[in-house]
Structure 1
Amino acid sequence: MTDDEITVFWHDRMLDHEPPAGTYKYPASPIVAGEERHPDRRERVENIKAMLDHAFTEATGYESPERATREELERVHDPEYLDWLEAFCADGGGRIEDTTTGANEATFDAARVAAGAAMAAARAALDDGDSVPYALCRPSGHHAQPDRADGFCFLNNVAIAAEEALSRGADSVAIVDWDVHHGNGTQEAFYGREDVLFVSAHADHGSWHPEYHPQEGSLGEVGNGAGEGYTVNVPLPPGTGDRGYDALFERVVNPVVREYDPDLVLVSAGQDAGAADPNARNLATRDGFLRLGEHVRRLADGTADGRLALVQEGGYQQSHLSFATLGVFEGLLDRRVELEQFGTDDPFAWLDEPTELVDAWLDEAVDHHRTYWNLE
């Protein structure tokens, strides 16, 4: 491990994944003269990398991950699904039936690299508390279920990382997912288990496909059997912004994770709750994401001896994704970065956040999860 403050696990192979073009994330429409590229485009992660190289030049180091092996993937995914995905991509890929998820010939290999990056970040967190391990993954993973692709995701990077940590001696892992979409695949992977706590805060979008995405992300989805109570879903109303996310952590995420007391904290870091994201309706800004970075850093320091790793998920307004992710690392490293022309501002922060609705929804979440956790 390096002496850098941020260790980015990255490989250019992840840029080769390319979903089919169409009308935004959907198939082409006759009322749209020119098809547009899918929102999961390579510029998303290229912009994050540019931000890190500019804002944290001396603090950032890169490591090239190994591809996840078949054995490592099968800790989470069914062999039959992996066979299908590999063959589907080898045949050129395409759109998966009537979903918004699509692949090309490079997707399976790129996804194996992304899964390997997440595993490497988890190992680094267990081995070295001096650097923040960050898996800059593409494609994302948290919607991928054990037996299917879903929501632009093919292999569940954070779930594979959690399994890697458990295989290396961790007794328990907490996954905090602040992506604006429910991490249904991660939930599915650990729904009956108590060795992985899954806390997801997300828009109240419900199920978006009866076959590929049946989970709703509702308060009532709490796990089953030995895992009952270890899935903690917190739906948030449209317009939730910086204050709402801060209250979410203070009232639910922080007390639950502290009570669970994991050996490792993993973050599904999707910055699509940002104020300009076209795939969401929330209002978090650079400052709000800074607070999220502060929260998870303190959680890891207070529960897991500083063992923390971030795994990149969504974020689809490619310019704002850089500002939002900058905020995350400003919070993690406890520093502000002055940008030419922008200073410490967020150029996309222009709407006021509704407050009473957020408070009411958080009251409901606290009341519901109090069955399992000491919440006030």
Structure 2
Amino acid sequence: MIDDTITVFWHDRMLDHEPPAGTYKYPSSPMIADDERHPDRRERVKNIKAMLDHALPEATEYESPERATRDEIERVHDSEYVDWLESFCADGGGRIEDTTTGANEATFDAARMAAGAAMAAARTALDDDGSVPYALCRPSGHHAQPTCADGFCFLNNVAIAAEEALAQGADSVAIVDWDVHHGNGTQEAFYDRDDVLFVSAHADHGSWHPEYHPQEGSLEEVGTGAGEGYTVNVPLPPGTGDRGYDVLFERVVNPIVREYDPDLVLVSAGQDAGAADPNARNLATRDGFLRLGEHVRHLADETADGRLALVQEGGYQQSHLSFATLGVFEGLLDRRVELEQYGTDDPFAWLEEPTELVDSWLDKAVEHHQEYWDLE
């Protein structure tokens, strides 16, 4: 059972990763007089850490992870890709062809540290010491595929953590990905396997690059061979908010994970579904993320004897990210934090969600996945 403490796996080396300069996530343009920094900026995770230190200081302890080794990384990633990434960063990095993803000389080492943090969180969950293990990862990982970087991600932290859990003796792992973008890299890593269940709820953005991101995250992508049915994609319409995410878990995520009955629940925790996030169009608030924390806490208690770990993914409005992530931990720890000036409010909660549209999309998801799972 989960108690009232958080073990944060963190190392300052993860701050040294820096994407190339440009016009936000794109190359510089003569139409833009002053470039805007890339959305994967270090302030994102610095603000999460500040939130933990300010709002939950008595509940939070930090541990420094070890870097993932080549052998551990290559449980997920092809050796040729790892060689290329290491060499690319050693040569100074840069933008990867015509994508929005780029690196500097520190990125490979920072990514190894992030993967090590995710592995440490998974091991801590399996040890069942009662705390909530949280890998505060940067760079993120869930878009990184076995053979390529993608979507600001280089090594797939949550997939490497799942492989570590299996190597440590777990028979099965459920990965719940609530990042507003489809976890295509995680899907790719386990698409033909049944020892890892992958459930991703995300905006219906489809493929964003024919070579580096061919996956669409559609209902039809359900796995292949032994893995058929164990990839569960749930596209969500623009404007999905607190109620929509709550219904998503009640109707799809909770019953599927309960039926799967894993030994460990891992969460790809990207808090980029808020109204202010520049890379999304959804409306989740601090209260909505609190409910997500409650859902995965109950799922872990019911199916995995409380074995649960969180791995940080996206979230690009660096101020709202703190409020949203606080909500997650409020749900996980079953407590509310009164913030000076804000109380328990979310200052970014200003729009209403289109409930009928959300319900119709979830109806389609339930109907589609009923072929493999007992859904109503």
TM-score per shorter chain, which class? over 0.9
Once the two structures are TM-superposed, the CA of residue 314 in structure 1 deviates from its matched residue by 0.0
1:193 corresponds to which letter in structure 2?
Answer: R
1:29 aligns with 29
1:327 aligns with 327
1:247 aligns with 247
Q: 2:275 and 2:128 mapped to 1: Cα distance?
A: 34
1:327 corresponds to which letter in structure 2?
Answer: G
Q: Does 1:112 align with 2:112?
A: yes
1:292 corresponds to which letter in structure 2?
Answer: L
2:237 aligns with 237
2:133 aligns with 133
1:211 aligns with 211
1:281 corresponds to which letter in structure 2?
Answer: R
Once the two structures are TM-superposed, the CA of residue 179 in structure 1 deviates from its matched residue by 0.1
2:142 corresponds to which letter in structure 1?
Answer: H
Once the two structures are TM-superposed, the CA of residue 274 in structure 1 deviates from its matched residue by 1.1
Q: 1:25 and 1:326 mapped to 2: Cα distance?
A: 26
2:63 corresponds to which letter in structure 1?
Answer: E
- Deviation per CA, 1:114-165, whole angstroms, max 9, x where unpaired? 0000000000000024100000000000000000000000000000000000
- Deviation per CA, 1:53-75, whole angstroms, max 9, x where unpaired? 01111000000000000000000
Once the two structures are TM-superposed, the CA of residue 107 in structure 1 deviates from its matched residue by 0.1
Secondary structure of residue in 1 paired with 2:245? helix
2:86 corresponds to which letter in structure 1?
Answer: E
Q: 1:255 and 1:54 mapped to 2: Cα distance?
A: 36
1:88 aligns with 88
1:55 aligns with 55
Secondary structure of residue in 1 paired with 2:153? coil
- Deviation per CA, 1:170-212, whole angstroms, max 9, x where unpaired? 0000000000000000000000000000000000000000000
2:272 aligns with 272
Q: Does 1:371 align with 2:368?
A: no
For residues 63 and 4 of structure 1, do their structure 2 counterparts lie closer, same or farther at Cα, with a shift above 3 Å needed?
Answer: farther
Q: Is the 2:143–2:153 Cα contact (8 Å) retained in structure 1? A: yes
2:184 aligns with 184
1:164 corresponds to which letter in structure 2?
Answer: E
Compare 162-171 and 4-13 and name the one that shifted more.
4-13
1:174 corresponds to which letter in structure 2?
Answer: A
- Deviation per CA, 1:44-95, whole angstroms, max 9, x where unpaired? 0000000000111100000000000000000000000000000000000000
Q: Is the 1:179–1:314 Cα contact (8 Å) retained in structure 2? A: yes
Q: 1:247 and 1:296 mapped to 2: Cα distance?
A: 14
TM, length-normalised to structure 2: 0.99
1:346 aligns with 346
Q: 1:46 and 1:74 mapped to 2: Cα distance?
A: 29
Compare 296-305 and 128-137 and name the one that shifted more.
128-137
Once the two structures are TM-superposed, the CA of residue 4 in structure 1 deviates from its matched residue by 7.0
Once the two structures are TM-superposed, the CA of residue 21 in structure 1 deviates from its matched residue by 1.4
For residues 4 and 13 of structure 1, do their structure 2 counterparts lie closer, same or farther at Cα, with a shift above 3 Å needed?
Answer: farther
2:7 aligns with 7
Secondary structure of residue in 2 paired with 1:62? strand
Q: Is the 1:202–1:234 Cα contact (8 Å) retained in structure 2? A: yes
Once the two structures are TM-superposed, the CA of residue 35 in structure 1 deviates from its matched residue by 1.1
Q: Is the 2:128–2:306 Cα contact (8 Å) retained in structure 1? A: no
1:305 aligns with 305
Runs ≥4 residues deviating over 6 A? none
Q: 1:36 and 1:90 mapped to 2: Cα distance?
A: 25
Q: Is the 1:129–1:307 Cα contact (8 Å) retained in structure 2? A: no
Q: 1:240 and 1:363 mapped to 2: Cα distance?
A: 14
Secondary structure of residue in 2 paired with 1:218? coil
Q: 2:276 and 2:300 mapped to 1: Cα distance?
A: 29
2:234 corresponds to which letter in structure 1?
Answer: V
- Deviation per CA, 1:195-243, whole angstroms, max 9, x where unpaired? 0000000000000000000000000000000000000000000000000
Count of paired positions: 374
Q: 2:339 and 2:130 mapped to 1: Cα distance?
A: 26
The runs of 5 or more residues in structure 1 that have no matched partner are: none
Secondary structure of residue in 1 paired with 2:97? coil
Q: 1:74 and 1:184 mapped to 2: Cα distance?
A: 18
2:181 corresponds to which letter in structure 1?
Answer: H
2:165 aligns with 165
Q: Is the 2:4–2:333 Cα contact (8 Å) retained in structure 1? A: no
Q: Is the 1:4–1:61 Cα contact (8 Å) retained in structure 2? A: no
TM, length-normalised to structure 1: 0.99
1:284 aligns with 284
1:88 corresponds to which letter in structure 2?
Answer: F
Q: 1:333 and 1:189 mapped to 2: Cα distance?
A: 31
Secondary structure of residue in 1 paired with 2:366? helix
After TM superposition, list the pairs within 5 Å mapping 1:138-157 onto structure 2. Answer: 138-157=138-157
1:198 aligns with 198
The runs of 5 or more residues in structure 2 that have no matched partner are: none
1:19 aligns with 19
